[in-house]
Every structure is written in C-alpha cells, then in structure tokens.
Amino acid sequence: MTDFAKHLENFFIKYLIGECNSSKHTIRAYRDAFTLLLIFMKDEKNINADNLQLKHLNRNVILDFLQWLEYKHKNEISTRNQRYAAIRSFCKYLQYEEPMRISEWQNIRSIKLKKNISGSFSYLSIDAIKLLLDQVPLNSSGSRRDLALLALLYDSGARVQEIADLTPDSIRFDNPNTIRLVGKGNKQRIVPLQKEQTDLLKNYIQDFGLNKFGKEKSPLFSNRIGEKLTTAGITYVLKKYAVAARLQNADLIPSKISPHIIRHSKAMHLLQGGVNLVYIRDFLGHKSIQTTEIYARADSKQKREALESVYVNVLPESNTERSWEKNPKLKDFLKSLS
C-alpha cells in the first residue's frame, strides 16, 4: 500500500467518519472528488492509482486538476470548488499526519476558491408545475409512485438526496402533517405538508404496503427491484415527464430541467405568495439568510409590483389627445361607419 492509499483510507474512515462524524452526503461528495483525482492522475499525469504517492501531489498538480475539472470535465465553478474543498480537507488532515511536508500541504490549501459570477437560475411557474404533474398517468403502480414522488419533491422543496433518503417513518400523518428531512451536515428539519399531498402519500404508502410492520425504515421510493431510488433515478423520472409536458407547451418547460429547479420553483412560489424570507430559509434548510436572498433578487415580478405600489408620476402632464382626434372630419367619417 502506498502512503497516499494509506492516508486516504484513514482520512475517510478514521478522520471523516470516526472523528468528524461527517454526513453521508459529505462522504459521497469527497469520494467523488478523489475518484476524479485518480482519473486525472492516470489520464493526464500517467500515474496509476497503484503507484500514486503523496510526493506526486503539489500545488501545481492540484491547479492542473482544477483546470481539468472545469474545462475538460465541464464542471461548473461551484462544483469545481466543491471538489477542491475535499482536497483542502485532506491536506488539513495531512498537516498532522505528515508534518515533514507541511509547507506543501499549506501551499495546496492556499489555492483560492474561484469566484462564481452569480447569474439567474431557472424555475417553473405554477402553471408549469401543474402541466408537469398532469403528464403522470395513474394506470400503473409505477406511475402512481412517480406522481407521489414528483408532487412531494415540489411540495417539500427538498433537495433530491433528501427525497432519496426518505423512509416511511419520516412522514407523520397528524395535525399538522409533516415530513422529516435530513439535509447537509446531518441537520434535520420538519416541513409541513399540504392536505392534498398527504392524501396522495397515504394512498401511495398503502398501495405499496409501506404501512406494514417492519417497513418503517425501508426506502420510501424504490425501483422495480426494491432498491432505493437514487438521485439519478429521480432525475430520470422528472425528465421523462418533462419531455411529455414540453410537447404540450414548450414555452412553460425549459429544455434543461433538474430536481433542483423544482426546489427553486417552490421557493419562488413561496416568496411570490408573501412568505417571509426567514420562513423560506428554514423551509429550505439554508444555513444563512444570505443564501435565501437569491430568490428575492431574482423575483422581477415582485420587484415590479413593489415599485408600482409606491410609484408617483413626477413627469409634467402631456397632451394625450391623439392626432386623429384633432381632425373633426375624420372623426365624423369613423362615426358614420357604425
């Protein structure tokens, strides 16, 4: 075992899981980052995983890796920064495990996160959400699962991984009806559900026998062989019905759609409905109100209505009479037509 392999294994098992108690979402993200690093070292540096050692890692190599992620692997800047966060954490760990090279680990950690120019994001109108859900038939158990899945994805505003991780005991049919979501950092939040959503879930759980004893910890949404539906599987379900909805009205459904767009849509609809940003923050499970404020900045409709409500016309009065109205003969002629 190379020193890189030994330390990487200890980083995951002893440090992230044993010491930091990192969430499974963090473990999965870090795993993906190092998987890509191994591919990069093999394809771009001609160093196989079997031969990769700590001495092969330095600031320039990591900078090349980040460039490769962005330009060859087509990662968004935010994804590139997330991959780098995994490497930063590994180098922080190495500072204490391999202090003889502490300057190198600090050099790698000194790489700056790339600034991401925040732009607009996509979201669906309420009519688009209705059109999307209308495409789901109810003539099979699979399609009834899809309707319960997509309706819950919108109603809860959950992240796709939070939906994938749900179990029947996450739902509480009470007054009020709620669902327990486990988000980033293993943080739990309770989200209220609408009555229509609750009725749909009750029927779905009963149809699939998920209300039976011993099924409390089973996946709420599973595939045909009973395994937990993955995030990729949920995305596939969404895109399937988006294609059908786009055939009905291409203007309502964007060409690119993802579960996160459904989450954005719910947040925008809450904001447009007058819900306070603080409540939306808690509903979405954001750590900071600054994250939630992107919806307020993006809502041009709300901005326009707010400006119109306080608008005062300070322009000088203008003559609004049209030129043809000044011509009595033309006015008499137009009247004669009736």
Q: What is the DSSP letter of 216?
A: T
> CB 281: neighbour CB atoms within 10 A?
19
Is residue 184 among the annotated active site residues? Answer: yes
Is residue 260 among the annotated active site residues? Answer: yes
Out of 73, 172, 180, 184, the active site residue is 184
Is residue 73 among the annotated active site residues? Answer: no
Is residue 286 among the annotated active site residues? Answer: yes
Q: How far is CA 311 from CA 211, 299, 305, 308, in A?
A: 56, 18, 10, 5
* Secondary structure (DSSP) of 233-291: HHHHHHHHHHHHHHHH-TTTS-SS--HHHHHHHHHHHHHHTT--HHHHHHHHT-SSHHH
Please write down the HEC assignment for all residues of 171-197.
EECCCCCEEEEECHHHCEEEEECCHHH
Please answer whether residues 260 and 294 qualify as being in contact, where contact means their C-beta atoms are separated by less than 8 angstroms: no
Out of 109, 246, 263, 266, the active site residue is 263
The residue length of the chain stands at 338
φ and ψ at 252, to 5 degrees? Answer: -85, -30
Out of 145, 159, 246, 264, the active site residue is 159
Q: Which amino acid is at 258?
A: S
Is residue 297 among the annotated active site residues? Answer: no
Please answer whether residues 9 and 27 qualify as being in contact, where contact means their C-beta atoms are separated by less than 8 angstroms: no
**Paired tokens of 15:** 């440090």
Is residue 154 among the annotated active site residues? Answer: no
List active site positions: 159, 184, 260, 263, 286, 295
